[in-house]
Amino acid sequence: MEHLSRLAVGQQRKPPIIVPLDDGVTLTFRHIPAGSFRMGQRGGEANEEPVTEVFVGEFWMGETPVTLEQYGVMAGWAGLDPNPSYFENLEDSARRPVEQVSWDDAMAVAVELRKRMEALDRLPRVHGVGLPSEAMWEYACRARTQTEYWSGDGEAALVEVGWHGEEWVKGGTHVVAGKRRPNAFGLHDMHGNVWEWCADVDEDDAYRMVVPGAVMPWPACGPRRKDDHRPRVLRGGSWDFTAWGCRSAYRFRRWPGLRHRLIGFRLCVFPGPVKQGPEARAESATGAKARRDDAAVAEGVDGADLNTNFPPRSGENSDA
């Protein structure tokens, strides 16, 4: 892994990408430098192990979850409801993370945002705009830390940086995006506030298939096939969730068509494919398995039902 460490140390942070969406409404992406990290957590959930060191190429990530006012502009481009939020009438609702947005909705606005950015010539070496892979999400969240939260271990560390533990039945809600301090990569709200969709299909054994030293593959940018109902990964926890579920390594899942008051998203800009290192495979075993699953779906093998309920994992709120 020595070559990966050199790459991580050698790359400098680049300026943010600021995209004007409408009068006074912008979307800021922070540069996430390439590097290696240990994905997962020992002693966490079974699906967070084994802990494996992997390499993630550079990309840009939204500095906050997409807010309601940002989403409203992009949803208009995509022909979607510009105001889907359950909490649409709260004070400062425009600056709070949008929620009740499905994985499909997030991908649809990403497609339209890419068109906007191309028209403005703001995409460096165009590759795509979309949701992060869960490896990219965890790498960006940790910001070169290995503790439960990027701010440290224990709930006291989480309180400093993440809004969590509120109860909807007692009037709890999410808060304005970016109120708590950012991590070393300039990202706010990576813990708590709203769950964030990732591009990946969820697999319980995904981490067991990752090859140590793997260069994690770029996520697909675009809509799913209509016959692909496999659950997608959610990360970060939410305002109505336990501290345990807000950890950097915690993995959650829901159907891609679900819209819920706890779920939002943040977008990423991908500058190009990651080059293969001298000791690393071009992609992880997880990526190869995803292609095998795609083939199975194409042959009609996957018969997942959107209404199937998941058994709860420890610390999981079955309401989401």
Q: Which CATH number characterizes residue 57's domain? A: 3.90.1580.10
Contact at 8 Å (CB) between 9 and 55?
no
| Residue 170 confidence (pLDDT) | 57
Domain-located, residue 315: no
Domain-located, residue 140: yes
Segments forming the whole domain that contains residue 86: 19-270
Count of alpha carbons within 13 angstroms of residue 56, beta-carbon side = 27
**Burial track 292-313 (b if 16+ CB lie within 10 A, e otherwise):** ebbeebeeeeeeeeeeeeeeeb
| Cα(221)–Cα(268) distance, integer angstroms | 10
Stretch (H or E) spanning 156:
helix 155-161
Domain-located, residue 278: no
Domain-located, residue 301: no
Q: What are phi and psi of 313, to 5 degrees?
A: -90, 165
pTM: 0.82
Domain-located, residue 114: yes
Q: What is the total count of domains within the chain?
A: 1
Domain-located, residue 291: no
| Residue 5 confidence (pLDDT) | 38
| Cα(147)–Cα(248) distance, integer angstroms | 8
Domain-located, residue 161: yes
Going by their DSSP bridges, the two strands 195-201 and 263-264 should be labelled as parallel
Mean pLDDT per block of 10 residues along the chain (320 residues) reads 40 86 92 96 93 94 97 97 90 92 96 88 70 96 96 92 74 82 96 95 89 88 87 95 95 95 95 41 37 32 28 39
Domain-located, residue 263: yes
Dump the DSSP string for 260-276: -TTEE---EEE-SPPPP
256 prior amide bond cis, ω within 30: no
| Residue 258 confidence (pLDDT) | 96
Catalogue the E-assigned strands of 143-225: 195-201
Q: Alpha-carbon torsion 198, 203, 208, 213, what sign? A: negative
| Residue 123 confidence (pLDDT) | 62
According to DSSP, the residues that pair with 60 across neighbouring strands are 31, 269
